[in-house]
Amino acid sequence: MTVHGRPVVDLHAGFIDRGRTRPWQKDTLINLASTSKAILAICVLRLVDRGALELDAPVARYWPEFARAGKESLTVRDVLSHRAGLPAVRAKLSPEALYDWTAMTAALAAEEPWWPPGTQHGYHAMTIGWLAGELVRRVSGRTVGRYLREELALPFDLDLHIGLGPHEEARTADVRATRPEPGRTTFVETVMSEPDSMSGWAFLNPVLCLTPQVLNSHAWRTTELPFANAHGTASSLAHLYGALAHPTGKHGNVLSPSIVDAARTEHAFGYDPVLREVTRYGIGFMLPHEGLACSPNPRAFGHPGAGGYLAFADPEASLGFAYVTSKMSAHTLLDPRAARLSEATYACL
């Protein structure tokens, strides 16, 4: 974690392989699951900061093929606040489509919203990667992975990546699943038992990603899938959020104060029909509430990741926090391990 922009705690332990033969190193990378979504959002918001994108402009202004099937007025803000009405594609896609950017963006351009855009919210578990990522590509002329590298990772010295090269893949830890508590039905089990529900389409089409078989594969690691396959270190995540909580201006701000304020302003709060629980969103970030009590400050902002990941910024405490793990739990939002670490952090401030 960082406080006032300076590293205060930076711990790592364990092994990067199931055989426990390779110790975790300071530069070991791990798949960041849905904490990736906030990294993607920061890329989009930097373009907003620079005037290349407007939050209340129609997506179709930048992506003309998108102006179909009732999406003509759907805005960039709708996409980033999970109110776009596009949590899933209804047409059954092949598993290979997951790794085909053109196929997925074409499918979303043709898709009819599940609800009128802007009228309610629901977690865009996978689709936000292609929706927001295509905006980055259309406006900047760069893929999300390249944009992240050139605009954030290199200037701010962050070990964060979307789409790994050979050097990065060689130092990436494998993730492994743990057995759920006895008698407890997990969210993934529920979704798999109801494949034709909205949640089923959102998480299973084109393929369920929340398995070690997918997450540890070469295809997953090397393809740019910004909804959940950013890779990085907890230290770099904490520094990124620390720069949002306490901008130093050393290399310019990650985001301007006005954009940070907008991003952590509540845009949606209530029952989420995709995750089937209450969620609260700003612009590109989840916000604390009773079901995601990651911070006592309701104005903190960040993102959890299925399996136990958590990263957030608390500007009032000047805090940047991140926890990552290779041992995936069955918790959807806030993992008890991350919650205990967050509580201990605030107790020390």
Tens digits of residue pLDDT in 280-329: 999 999 999 998 999 999 999 999 999 899 999 999 999 999 999 999 98
Higher pLDDT among residues 337 and 252, named by residue? 337
Long-range contacts (CB closer than 8 Å, 24 or more residues apart) made by 19-28:
24/173, 25/171, 26/233, 26/235, 27/159, 27/171, 27/233, 28/171, 28/172, 28/173, 28/233
Give pLDDT tens digits for 158-180: 999 999 999 999 999 999 988 77
Residue 249: pLDDT band with limits 50, 70, 90:
low
Confidence of residue 71 (pLDDT cuts 50, 70, 90): very high
Average pLDDT over residues 38-42: 98
> For residues 220, 323, 243 and 143, what is the CA-based torsion angle, rounded to 10 degrees?
10
pLDDT given for residue 88 in this prediction: 98
Cα-based distances in Å from 277 to 151, 271, 313: 35, 5, 23
- Fold entry, domain 2-348: Beta-lactamase (3.40.710)
Task: Please check the confidence at residue 185 and state whether its pLDDT lies above 60.
Answer: yes
Tokens of 8: 């205060």
Banded pLDDT at 134 (limits 50, 70, 90): very high
State the pLDDT confidence band at 251, using cuts at 50, 70 and 90: low
pLDDT score recorded for residue 34: 97
